[in-house]
Structure 1
Amino acid sequence: MANHFDLAASAHAEMLREGFQPDFPDGTKAQINQIYSSVNGSHNNMRDLRGLLWSSIDNDTSRDLDQIEVAERTDGGIRMRVGVADVSASVAKNTPIDQHAAFQTKTVYTGVRNFPMLPNELSTDLTSLNENVDRAAMVVEFVVDPQGCRSQPAIYEAMVRNKAQLAYSRVGPWLEGKAGPDMKIAGSLALQEQLKLQDEAAQALREQRVSEGALEFNRIEADPVIIDGKVHSIQTAPRNHATELIEDFMIAANETMAETLRAAGRSCIRRVVRTPERWDRIVDLVGRYGTQLPAEADSTALNTFLRKQRKLDPVHYPDLSLAIIKLMGPGEYVLSSGTDKEPLGHFGLAARDYTHSTAPNRRFADLVMQRIVRAMLANEPPPYTDAELTAIATQCNLQEKAGHKVERTMQKRVAAVALADSIGKVFRGVVTGASQKGTYVRIFDPPVEGRVVRGEEGLDVGDTVTVKLLHTNPQMAYIDFARVPGR
């Protein structure tokens, strides 16, 4: 029965249930045709950076490419350029496509079907930084010195050309020396040197950020293998040098963007994580591991503990990370007025100035930020009032929560389908929850969570156990295990 469960239809229904509008409105096709017909290849008033060795690194199956990078060694350090797809040049404010994006606020990824914020004709084609095509981009530039500090910031429009579309799964192991280069990298010494230079800059940025108190988490995420619409297996999503490299440049570009707008006195939307209100709960949790944190919130002390615990107990570390993330509270979008002298910062990144700006194909907040920056560069009035930005931030927060619900539910359903042929098999795992609501276990391979419905007595969070798969139900998103006695 599970093998015949229609996951794509289930995902669509889940989107509707959580208040999304998964289908594009009337007028979308006409607007797409108008956008395509208006593309004339004019590059006036733009820098031409198509000759640089730009590359992108993303998931193996990603088609909505928002970000490309290129590095250059200078006397003062490594000059980084992060090119962000210029979506604002194609999608005008208050048009049908923009209004749909403003309501959805994000692309929702369910594993079996994606629900794009923008039509695929744009997000995976005209406004995607695809390989070997000319594209307009908003470039964020900065120099990274050997200590990982940024300087000489600049933001400008440019024409770019992605010379190599690469994947985390292949670039990461090569950078780490665990595997040879893939065909693209092997065929270009210049690309090899470029990626190593980028990695050098990224590691410097990361070490500087950690020294300032940024937190390093290591959550385990499941990545379904879908072939011809069918779930074949569940594997662990890669996290390696390549994923960290892109993350480091994304963070640095977002910080540069927020700093530049604050200096210009421009209102914008910021991405913040407030100083934890439940810091005392974090102190109690960490105290169980023999470490005493300060009474006042201190991200540096917390990350020192996290780094140590990750080395001491890698099996339980992902669940410890998740527990602390939940206690910290969610990230949120807020208005930052152009007159704010001390805007809210991002506790987890130890960043005073932070926003979301590097994924305008996937997040509406980033598209809004791009319009704000474009107006700043042109010395034009702001495209949004503070009241409009407040309303946008509120909608983004609401839809982010709803989107997470859709994605979590579908992850459970996909896992239930993937395990349907494994009834009776035995797995090792770790207990992730134990309360009156039930006892839950995360098995190690594949990385799937389910409920222990038999033999759960006496189990507590953190216990390593052996369990047997009893039952899966994709419709109800259930995966049920029984504890195997004596093992």
Structure 2
Amino acid sequence: MNEWISKIEVWTRKHGRSGVSFKEVCQKLKIKNKQRDQLRRVLTDMAEQGMILEKKNKIYSSAALGLISAEITRINRTFGFAKELREETEYFIPGKYLMGAVPGDHVLLRRIKGRGSSPEGEVVRIVSYGPGEFTAEVCFENGAWFLLPDTMGKTPLHVQKQDLCGAEAGDKVLAKISHRGKRHSEHQAVVLSAYGDSESACSCAAAALDLAGIAAEFPFEVIDKAQYLQKRGIKSRDLEGRTDFRGDTIFTIDGADSKDLDDAVSLEKYEDCYVLGVHIADVSHYVHYKGEIDREAFYRGTSIYYANQVIPMLPKELSNGICSLNPGEDRLTLSAVLTLDLDGELIDFDFRKGVICSRVKGVYSEVNALLAGTANREIEEKYAEVRDKLLLMKELSDILERNKRRRGAPELETQESKIIVDDQGRAAEILPRTSGLAEALIENFMLTANEAAAVAGKMKEVPYLYRVHEPPAPEKLDQLNTVLRLLGLQTRSLSPNVKPKAMAEILEKAKGKDIAPIVNLQMLRAMSKAKYSESPLGHYGLALENYTHFTSPIRRYPDLMVHRVLSDLIAGEEIAEIRRRYTKYVVKAAKQATQTEINAMKLERDCEDFYKAEYMKTRIGEEFDGIVSSVASHGVYVELPNTVEGLIRAEDLPGGNYEFDGVMSFRNRFSGESYRVGQPVRVKCIAAQVSSGNIDFIPVGDDSE
């Protein structure tokens, strides 16, 4: 079969746009009559993979026709996106060129001339259908039932009353396409599950989780095992061979509402060095390789956080219980004992199985107040035992921060949201998540431990999971160079092998200027996405040659995998045996962890959008000051100080006749008025749809106040 495929590929490509007939293929391959059905199946498989195209009794090479094999990744109201399967380039597809394709469909694209700098395409053929599942709002109009999809085109889809699964008008539902048409308006659907009011963020989040296949509940056998481990607790035999750190001043620092505490810290200073202890919950002691809990954790890959909800990777009996480093309770750890010289350079490390008893549950906001000298008496008393250690930790953290800047790690800014919900689970307030000295302190200590863990695995040449971040791709650098030239920041283009320090210097040059948000945004877009790999490729964004994730095994599967390998090394396992056990598995785990992280980030972002829209729905008609956060061909995005982002549609820009420069601004061709990334703008909220997470603004003129 492989020989047939290779020959068909070569031959069809050679014949280009002329194509070949089935008869010619049979002759070329010397196919006998009894083999014709077999050949038909091979051609069908090749067509389903997008390798060939069969049209008007001719067989063509997709590549020879300039067609691109891709998967539809998302659909918005009037456009969609597809990702090329081989190169992973993303193509923008105008709605009229989608041919009714929906997310998950495998398609063949033809590249077309676009309006912006991003590549654009049109769907030539749908090679194979994806699952066709989507979330939607139920509508009843003129005696007929429809589903209004959230992110799958703007056209309502027909649904029969008997296929509503009990849903009523205005409900949020999970549905599936039951009949395909040639355009979105011709599709028909059935409802799979109903969640209640579509204007409730809680209902929308539940639907989004189901669509992604995320289960809040764990299988019975996983819960049963976790409950046993929680009830069993820590026995004396669990302490054998462990370093007893219970006499050391060790404590956690985390968010006020955190319940899954997986890292604690300690610090000593000597005449010529610091000895930093980063003590991480020993999850691998409880979650055995390929056991019931491990299989479920591998499948989930990561915990998911949004609003006041957590969908944990591990059952709460472990994540909030026996594994969590709760104050005043003995807990098992995998501890990194790190020796740094007085300049903050790592000179030695030792990974040990340990047992600790945390002195206090530190809270970021309280520690920040303590370090700033603004803490009240209650906070002073809570931290009295660890106050001196905190001051010493700040001293080391400041040194590590300087080192990070010196090695040239780009300081890119990202804004996170804190969503506060009321007793009914509705969004009551949206705030920007602040970060202070305590957050920086923990981050710097965790980075140091992660670097040491990466070096430990690399030195022993064992199968391992690394956190990698590759340099920017050439095409993304081209776009960044265009912006930097337009802004007058760079006359010479950044080359594909540009060092992180060069990026950091550009950010520093723009700091404090009105162009800073543009530079920050474009540099974020230019960066590759961090991922997991079995190869130590280094971390570009942190300017580190060696890096992994070691510090959050309660929340991330890669950290648990790293712990498992380190634990085997500590136990004296033969390297050959470790390689035999994990070599194939880490390749699989890297791929799974990367994909589950991408899925979780998308889900968290979507769920946050529901809550933000729910919050803004109560503020329609109000005016706000914001800044232009990004610009696209369909309009201008404006971000408010509380992190809420809304869209000014292109048709709502005052005066009409605006031109998009394809990069960062809309400019009125007659008046010269423009909207550019980073520009302050006053807006009015005119619409907020919880079901889609969309918020609409219009600009407010100076004379309208």
TM-score computed with the length of structure 1 as normaliser = 0.92
Match of 2:553 among 317, 338, 360: 360
Partner of 1:334: 533
Aligned mates of 1:464, 1:375 — CA distance in 2: 56
* Equivalence map 1:461-472=2 (5 Å): 461-472=677-688
Note if contact 1:218-1:317 (Cα within 8 Å) is conserved in structure 2.
no
Aligned mates of 2:486, 2:264 — CA distance in 1: 43
User: CA offsets, 1:414-442, max 9 Å, x none?
Assistant: 11111222111111111122222332111
Q: Equivalent residue of 1:361, what SS?
A: coil
Q: Check if 1:212 corresponds to 2:407.
A: yes
Aligned mates of 1:455, 1:118 — CA distance in 2: 48
Note if contact 2:281-2:324 (Cα within 8 Å) is conserved in structure 1.
yes
Q: Equivalent residue of 1:367, what SS?
A: helix
Note if contact 1:144-1:201 (Cα within 8 Å) is conserved in structure 2.
no
Aligned mates of 2:564, 2:517 — CA distance in 1: 38
Closer/same/farther in 2, CA of residues 4 and 401 from structure 1, 3 Å limit: closer
User: CA offsets, 1:69-94, max 9 Å, x none?
Assistant: 01111122221100001101111122
Match of 1:9 among 203, 215, 230: 203
Partner of 2:394: 199
User: CA offsets, 1:437-487, max 9 Å, x none?
Assistant: 33211112x221011133265423232110001111111111111100237
Note if contact 2:227-2:317 (Cα within 8 Å) is conserved in structure 1.
no
Structure 1 letter corresponding to 2:228: Q
User: CA offsets, 1:140-184, max 9 Å, x none?
Assistant: 12123232211121110111111111122222243245x325734
Closer/same/farther in 2, CA of residues 248 and 382 from structure 1, 3 Å limit: same
Partner of 2:64: none
Aligned mates of 1:77, 1:307 — CA distance in 2: 31
* Equivalence map 1:388-427=2 (5 Å): 388-427=585-624
Note if contact 1:8-1:113 (Cα within 8 Å) is conserved in structure 2.
no
Structure 2 letter corresponding to 1:465: V
Closer/same/farther in 2, CA of residues 461 and 25 from structure 1, 3 Å limit: same
Structure 1 letter corresponding to 2:627: V
Match of 2:251 among 44, 55, 60: 55
Q: Check if 1:284 corresponds to 2:482.
A: yes
Match of 2:444 among 248, 252, 263: 248
Partner of 1:307: 508
Structure 2 letter corresponding to 1:218: E
Structure 2 letter corresponding to 1:131: P
Unaligned runs of 5+ in 2: 1-169, 171-195, 659-666, 668-674
Shift of 1:189: 4.0
- Percent identity reads 27
Shift of 1:18: 2.1
Q: Which sits farther off after the overlay, 415-424 or 286-295? A: 286-295
Aligned mates of 1:184, 1:147 — CA distance in 2: 31
Note if contact 1:221-1:237 (Cα within 8 Å) is conserved in structure 2.
yes
* Equivalence map 1:44-443=2 (5 Å): 44-177=240-373, 179-180=374-375, 183-228=378-423, 229-277=425-473, 278-292=476-490, 294-295=494-495, 296-313=497-514, 317=516, 320-336=519-535, 343-380=536-573, 381-382=577-578, 384-443=581-640
Aligned mates of 1:276, 1:241 — CA distance in 2: 30
Greater RCO structure (CA 8 Å; 6+ sep): 1
User: CA offsets, 1:113-136, max 9 Å, x none?
Assistant: 211000111101111111111100
Shift of 1:219: 1.4
Closer/same/farther in 2, CA of residues 437 and 390 from structure 1, 3 Å limit: farther
Q: Check if 1:485 corresponds to 2:701.
A: yes
Closer/same/farther in 2, CA of residues 409 and 202 from structure 1, 3 Å limit: same
Shift of 1:67: 0.6
User: CA offsets, 1:26-59, max 9 Å, x none?
Assistant: 3122212332354343211111111211121111
Shift of 1:404: 1.3
Structure 2 letter corresponding to 1:115: I
Instruction: Determine which structure has more spread, i.e. the larger CA radius of gyration.
Output: 2
User: CA offsets, 1:197-245, max 9 Å, x none?
Assistant: 1111112112112211212122121111123323210011011111111
Note if contact 2:277-2:337 (Cα within 8 Å) is conserved in structure 1.
yes
Match of 1:30 among 221, 224, 232: 224
User: CA offsets, 1:381-414, max 9 Å, x none?
Assistant: 3284222111111111111111111111111111
Closer/same/farther in 2, CA of residues 40 and 251 from structure 1, 3 Å limit: closer
Q: Equivalent residue of 2:428, what SS?
A: strand
Shift of 1:191: 1.4
Aligned mates of 1:470, 1:140 — CA distance in 2: 53
User: CA offsets, 1:327-358, max 9 Å, x none?
Assistant: 1110010013xxxxxx3110001111100110
Q: Which sits farther off after the overlay, 44-53 or 356-365? A: 44-53
Partner of 2:20: none
Note if contact 1:416-1:474 (Cα within 8 Å) is conserved in structure 2.
yes
Note if contact 1:272-1:344 (Cα within 8 Å) is conserved in structure 2.
yes
Note if contact 2:202-2:426 (Cα within 8 Å) is conserved in structure 1.
no
Q: Equivalent residue of 1:89, what SS?
A: helix
Structure 2 letter corresponding to 1:283: N
Structure 1 letter corresponding to 2:589: I
Partner of 2:136: none
Q: Equivalent residue of 2:677, what SS?
A: coil
Structure 1 letter corresponding to 2:700: V
Match of 1:474 among 658, 667, 690: 690
Closer/same/farther in 2, CA of residues 391 and 452 from structure 1, 3 Å limit: same
Aligned-residue Cα RMSD (Å) equals: 2.2
Q: Check if 1:455 corresponds to 2:653.
A: yes
Give the ranges of 4+ consecutive aligned residues of structure 1 lying more than 6 Å apart after TM superposition. Answer: 1-4
The count of corresponding residues between Structure 1 and Structure 2 is 477
Partner of 1:340: none
Closer/same/farther in 2, CA of residues 188 and 473 from structure 1, 3 Å limit: closer
Note if contact 1:8-1:112 (Cα within 8 Å) is conserved in structure 2.
no
Q: Equivalent residue of 2:534, what SS?
A: strand
Shift of 1:247: 0.8
Note if contact 2:252-2:263 (Cα within 8 Å) is conserved in structure 1.
yes
Shift of 1:319: 5.9
Aligned mates of 1:416, 1:435 — CA distance in 2: 20
Partner of 2:70: none
Closer/same/farther in 2, CA of residues 52 and 317 from structure 1, 3 Å limit: farther
